[in-house]
């Protein structure tokens, strides 16, 4: 069953946590109409099953991550109305199934990628109100499915590609205010075109002489067009608006041949705006005598002719957004009698609904829903109001009287904003909770399909007035309540996923909650651990001068400091207002005060003073393992021997946590950035903020039991079994360490451009191409050692935790690999230093039964007993 995360219109604040990338089964991700800030994390590229990506109406910043291109199942991407910038990633070309692309109303720049032309299923492409530059790509004409192309208000150049005439199915072409030049291309093949807006450019030449008879809107004002008005423009039976204002058109305006389909009611209208041209003659026609037909001739020489009705020559300085009908539309609603009372004692929003089936008014509680047409195919709505209500009621399986557009207005775009009222049927005064929640789902998942006439839409709010404000769903704007938590993920989502969601978003008002915690906060005291004052730590770092900053993580920044006794330390400073930081702070002090091992970073002290929380560690000179592995900014490359040394040291540190700490400790966040390297490149495992105490050892076991806990960790390193079950075990750390081993082998990150390292290694191995991804920077290496290291790493990364080795077995195998490395005589002292005399060699199964030294090395492609050297690629 599809997994859905719908956090629609909930007044959420904060940022999107990269842990979102762990929810790989998500079908729908809906954060529309909140106040979420910060960037879209690249980990979103892990959501391979995502169908709907909906971030409309937030305050997101930064660039679109290229990893979005990995979402091959994506049907709809909506990131409109944010503060996103940068170019459209070239990886968009891989979204082969996307149909709806809405990037409008941001600050995207650069050229529009021609690769978009290869997305043959796009229906709606909305790129308006950005900062795109360059030419319109001719390749867009390859999208035969395209119905709407809207690129208004950008900084383009060049002309409209002539190839766009191949878009035979196009219904709306809107390129307003794009600085385009040249002639209007041949539109004769666009037989379905109903809406054309090329206003505000520098187009020249003559008006097209052959256009679709279905046209409702032609907006060509503020260009440099000349010549006569072709006869075809007078014979468009469904035309609502013809705006040719401010051009160089000449000749005669011949209203005597003006045709239009019969106006059925006063809501229909025709506006002809020919102001500020060079029209010298005017021929009146009978159609101009209708009250709902408006002709504007101001600013043309013909207005100097006194025989011309001067009413036609009155200046009008309006826009498409505020067209006023010559006469008010007649409402089909019949007000209820003032004698009809609707339980006013409830002080409710009880209003009438007209039940046409019975021809009488009845009191009922409506649902109020905000509905926005993003790119409608008309300029005047009243003639289409009934058709819209019929369209909506049909898909909702409602009677026509149950759907009412109570009000509407135009916003810039132009986009049509509607306030819908949905009424229960005539057998009751209100909808049931089940129906309300069903309607909520339908209005937030595009259950009602887009129509050719009304175009794409979105829901802007789902208002639950009395008596619907108690229903258990996510339509309210009052934040997360108990019922809201229960409905965060709709469908077959496990307890684990729900817990991750709660952790994933920094939900509302974090600063205020932090302040409340601080009011009752008492400084902690830990026996045997030095407590520093804020003044001492500040002095050690030069008042946290930026030159002393050496790193940054989710917890906060890390500074290099020198204490009063000359000892150099690393100081991890928690972000202000971080509740997560407070918990990690206490957790890390508690754990590090109890453990001591040469391969674990040592805690020197802490500071809990003046509303600040900081941890003071020993300073590790050479930074993190990631600093040495990740090009192009990596430090000096690590040779093969050093990589084994780092792996062995890290494994010993983790083994100590699992087997010698009492009770055992599960680290829960083993990764390259949490493995530090000292001056001799010896590994020290760090960052115990997420660590958990495990149950004591079983009497006949060398490992602790499992711990049921909220899923935390880093995408790419996280044990899939732990993620699915919330059961944390020692094998969870083994999986993460296996990913680190793969990093040492390949030099790659755990996730690169949305590709998972574990999966990539499996694919390369199965294809017999493992050598192609080995890191060439580690120089020559013994083939048999690398062979065993690969087998060990892959075994650690088995999906089934029971198939993984224990850390004792990992250490045993790494020591055996170390012993096989030739020519180590010059490194004897170093080898001695990494051997831990205080640690017993872990006991494993017999060599013959050991699962990682089998002679079966098919698919690895290495020659046993040789030293291979890979030339740079």
- What is the C-alpha to C-alpha distance for residues 383 and 240, in angstroms, rounded to an integer? 10
Q: Could you say which DSSP state residue 600 is in?
A: B
Question: Is 572 annotated as belonging to a binding site?
Answer: yes
The pair of structure tokens assigned to 148 is: 């709407």
Residue bearing tokens 């998972």:
756
Task: Report yes or no: 406 and 349 within 8 Å, Cβ to Cβ.
Answer: no
Q: Which of 821, 832, 812 is nearest to 648 (CA)?
A: 812
Residue bearing tokens 């052959």:
210
Q: Is 182 left (phi over 0), alpha (psi -120 to 50) or beta?
A: left
- What is the C-alpha to C-alpha distance for residues 171 and 195, in angstroms, rounded to an integer? 6
Cα dihedral: 796, 493, 24, 719 (round 10)? -10
| Preceding amide of 181 cis, omega within 30 | no
> Can 669 be counted among the known catalytic residues?
yes
Three-state helix/strand/coil letters over 624-665: EHHHHHCCCCCCCCCCHHHHHHHHHHHHHHHHHHHHCCCCCE
303 CB-near residues (< 8 Å, 6+ apart): 297, 310, 312, 313
Q: Please give the backbone phi and psi of residue 505, each rounded to the nearest 5 degrees, phi first.
A: -110, 135
Task: Report yes or no: 143 and 164 within 8 Å, Cβ to Cβ.
Answer: no
Catalytic annotation, pick one of 152, 450, 669, 719: 669
Task: Report yes or no: 29 and 16 within 8 Å, Cβ to Cβ.
Answer: no
- What is the C-alpha to C-alpha distance for residues 781 and 786, in angstroms, rounded to an integer? 7
- What is the C-alpha to C-alpha distance for residues 703 and 725, in angstroms, rounded to an integer? 19
Q: Which burial class, exposed, middle or buried, applies to 448 when counting CB atoms under 10 A from its CB (0-12, 13-18, 19+)? A: middle
Three-state helix/strand/coil letters over 646-713: HHHHHHHHHHHHHHCCCCCEECCCCCHHHEEECCCCCEEECCCCCCEECCCCCCCCCCCCCEECCCCC
Q: Which residues are annotated as a binding site for ATP?
A: 572
Q: Which residues are known catalytic residues?
A: 669
> Which residues are annotated as part of the binding site?
572
């Amino acid at each position: 069953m599809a997994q859905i995360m719908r956090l629609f219109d909930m007044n959420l604040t904060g940022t999107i946590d990269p842990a979102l990338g762990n929810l790989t089964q998500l079908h729908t991700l809906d954060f529309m109409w909140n106040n979420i800030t910060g960037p879209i994390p690249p980990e979103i590229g892990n959501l391979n099953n995502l169908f709907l990506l909906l971030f409309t109406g937030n305050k997101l910043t930064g660039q679109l991550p290229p990893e979005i291109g990995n979402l091959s199942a994506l049907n709809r991407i909506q990131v409109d109305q944010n503060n996103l910038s940068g170019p459209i990633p070239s990886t968009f070309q891989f979204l082969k199934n996307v149909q709806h692309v809405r990037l409008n109303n941001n600050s995207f720049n650069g050229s529009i990628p021609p690769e978009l032309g290869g997305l043959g299923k796009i229906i709606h492409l909305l790129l308006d109100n950005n900062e795109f530059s360059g030419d319109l790509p001719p390749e867009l004409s390859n999208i035969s499915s395209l119905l709407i192309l809207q690129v208004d208000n950008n900084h383009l150049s060049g002309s409209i590609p002539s190839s766009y005439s191949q878009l035979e199915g196009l219904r709306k072409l809107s390129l307003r205010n794009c600085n385009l030049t040249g002639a209007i291309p041949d539109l004769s093949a666009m037989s379905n075109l109903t809406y054309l807006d090329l206003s505000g450019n520098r187009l020249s030449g003559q008006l097209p002489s052959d256009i679709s008879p279905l046209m409702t809107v032609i907006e060509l004002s503020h260009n440099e067009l000349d010549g006569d008005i072709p006869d075809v423009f007078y014979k468009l039976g469904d035309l609502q608006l013809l705006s040719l204002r401010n051009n160089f058109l000449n000749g005669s305006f011949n209203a005597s041949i003006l045709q239009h389909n019969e106006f059925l009611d006063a809501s229909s209208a025709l506006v002809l705006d020919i102001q500020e041209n060079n029209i010298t003659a005017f021929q009146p026609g009978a159609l101009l005598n209708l009250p709902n037909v408006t002709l504007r001739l101001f600013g043309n020489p013909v207005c100097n002719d006194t025989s011309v009705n001067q009413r036609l020559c009155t200046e009008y300085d309006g826009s498409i957004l505020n067209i006023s009908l010559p006469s008010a539309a007649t409402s089909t609603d019949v007000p209820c009698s003032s004698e009809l009372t609707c339980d006013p004692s409830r002080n409710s929003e009880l209003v009438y609904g007209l039940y046409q089936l019975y021809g009488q008014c009845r009191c009922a509680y409506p649902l109020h829903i905000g509905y926005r047409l993003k790119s409608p195919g008309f300029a005047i709505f009243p003639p289409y109001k009934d058709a819209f209500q019929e369209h909506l009621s049909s898909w909702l399986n409602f009677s026509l009287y149950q759907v009412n557009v109570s009000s509407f207005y135009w916003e810039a775009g132009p986009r049509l904003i509607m306030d819908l009222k949905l009424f229960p049927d005539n057998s009751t005064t209100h909808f049931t909770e089940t129906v309300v929640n069903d309607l909520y789902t339908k209005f937030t998942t595009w259950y009602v399909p887009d129509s050719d006439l009304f175009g794409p839409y979105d829901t802007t709010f789902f208002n639950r007035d009395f008596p619907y404000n108690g229903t258990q769903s996510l339509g309210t704007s009052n934040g997360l309540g108990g019922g809201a938590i229960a409905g965060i993920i709709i469908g077959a989502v496990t307890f684990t996923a729900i817990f991750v969601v709660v952790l994933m978003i920094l939900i509302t008002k974090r600063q205020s909650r932090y302040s409340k915690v601080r009011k009752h906060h008492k400084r902690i005291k830990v026996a045997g651990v030095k407590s520093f004052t804020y003044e001492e730590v500040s002095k050690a770092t030069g008042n946290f001068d930026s030159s002393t900053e050496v790193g940054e993580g989710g917890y906060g920044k890390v500074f290099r400091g020198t204490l009063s006794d000359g000892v150099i330390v690393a100081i991890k400073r928690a972000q202000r207002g971080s509740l997560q930081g407070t918990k990690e702070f206490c957790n890390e002090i508690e754990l590090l005060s109890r453990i001591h091992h040469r391969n674990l970073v040592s805690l020197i002290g802490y500071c809990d003073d003046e509303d600040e929380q900081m941890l003071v560690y020993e300073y590790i000179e050479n930074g993190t393992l990631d600093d040495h592995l990740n090009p192009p900014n990596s430090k000096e490359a690590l040779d093969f021997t050093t990589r084994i040394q780092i792996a062995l040291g890290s494994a010993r540190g983790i083994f100590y946590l699992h087997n010698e700490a009492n009770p055992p400790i599960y680290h829960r966040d083993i990764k390259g950035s949490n493995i530090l390297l000292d001056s001799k490149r010896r590994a020290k495992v760090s960052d115990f903020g997420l660590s958990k105490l495990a149950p004591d050892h079983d009497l006949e076991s060398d490992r602790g039991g499992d711990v049921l806990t909220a899923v935390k960790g880093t995408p790419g390193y996280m044990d899939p079994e732990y993620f699915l079950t919330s059961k944390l075990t020692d094998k969870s750390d083994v999986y993460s360490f296996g990913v680190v081993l793969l990093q040492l082998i390949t030099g790659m990150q755990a996730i690169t451009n949305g590709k998972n390292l574990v999966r990539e290694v499996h694919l390369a191995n199965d294809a017999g191409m493992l050598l192609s991804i080995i890191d060439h920077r580690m120089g020559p290496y013994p083939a048999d050692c690398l062979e065993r290291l690969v087998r060990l790493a892959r075994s650690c990364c088995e999906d089934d935790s029971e198939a993984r080795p224990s850390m004792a077995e990992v250490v045993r195998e790494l020591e055996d690999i170390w012993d096989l490395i030739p020519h180590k005589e010059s490194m004897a002292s170093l080898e001695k230093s990494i051997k831990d005399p205080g640690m017993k060699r872990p006991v494993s199964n017999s060599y013959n039964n050991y699962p990682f030294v089998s002679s079966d090395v098919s698919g690895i492609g290495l020659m046993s007993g040789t030293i291979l050297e890979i030339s740079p690629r």
